Amino acid sequence: MVKIAFVGKGGVGKTTVAGTTARFLAKDGYNVIGIDADPAMNLHSALGISEENVARIIPISEEKELIEQRAGGAGGIFVVNPKVDDIPAKYQVSGPDNVRLLVLGTVKKAKSGCMCPEQAFLRALLSHLILEVKDAIVIDMEAGIEHLGRGTLRYVDAMAIIIEPGRRSTELAERIKNLANELKISRLYIIGNKVATPIEEKFIKKVAKDIGVELIGMIPYDNTLRIADLNGKAPIDFAPDSPAIKEIEKIEKFFINLIESSKN
């Protein structure tokens, strides 16, 4: 433990919450690697990584030759456990609080039962990435979770579904829950984001209750996050005391408790 994946529909706040949680975990002494698994590739913005370092990022999925070399592929033969131990050092860039970032880029969708080299490579990478007690991996996912193979997602310890008040995000939450159950991901949580009124708060609580998933945070709608974005700053650096960031800190503390208690 611990690899935490943040999932949900587009625009709900996955990148904001994943990046800010990663920074808080790092401030609490964890060695954090953020994994950007969204083709939009913008986790760096929420982590506050400098433009200079962002320019150095090479998305791993674009390294076709590397993946082919390690995992094979030609002629349908591939290596189930490709060597990946040197990948993090080569492909990561660093940011504030020593959070490191790995960018997966566009991952070819895994068909059901697909055993393609890309997924084998990814799976090996995810299973390899956590060795020391004080390591934490935070994954910012693409909207939905179907693009990652089931075998790959199995290496995730905890999954947090982010929803905003509105029917469309709750439908997806239900589907994600079913998939997580199939994958036996037992630590599944819900986080409400962009909550602006008591009615919206009630809505989020009801959704969590109806689908039977523990609610671990209620992040208020907070305009300073958008202003941070316009200023090209990570929310945690731009407005560390804003209500939304304070609530994300509580969510991070929830995960710390989870990590600590799973050790016993």
Residue 15 interacts with Mg ion (CB under 5 A): yes or no:
yes
Cα 150 to Cα 65, 111, 113, 142, 234, distances in angstroms: 24, 9, 8, 15, 32
Q: What is the DSSP string of 96-114?
A: GGG-EEEE---PPPPPTT-
**Of all helices (H) and strands (E), which one includes residue 31?**
strand 31-37
**Contact with ligand ADP (CB under 6 A) among 219, 236, 239, 245:** 219
Total residues binding ligand ADP (CB under 6 A): 17
Cα 90 to Cα 3, 23, 30, 31, 147, distances in angstroms: 21, 21, 21, 17, 25
The entry of Mg ion, ligand ADP, none that residue 229 binds, CB within 5 to 8 Å by partner kind: ligand ADP
Which position's Cβ is nearest Mg ion? Answer: 15
Residue 190 interacts with ligand ADP (CB under 6 A): yes or no:
no
CB of 162 to Mg ion, least distance (A): 10
Going by C-alpha positions, the residue among 250, 235, 249 that lies closest to residue 46 is 235
Pull the structure tokens for residue 84: 């990946």
Residue 4 interacts with ligand ADP (CB under 6 A): yes or no:
no
Residue 218 interacts with ligand ADP (CB under 6 A): yes or no:
no
Residue 194 interacts with ligand ADP (CB under 6 A): yes or no:
yes
Stretch that binds Mg ion, among 15-23, 93-101, 170-178, 206-214 (CB under 5 A): 15-23
Residues 30-89 that bind Mg ion (CB under 5 A): 38
From the number of C-beta atoms within 10 Å of its C-beta (0-12, 13-18, 19+), residue 135 rates as middle
Residues 9-68 that bind ligand ADP (CB under 6 A): 10-16
- Which stretches of the chain bind Mg ion, using CB under 5 A? 14-15, 38
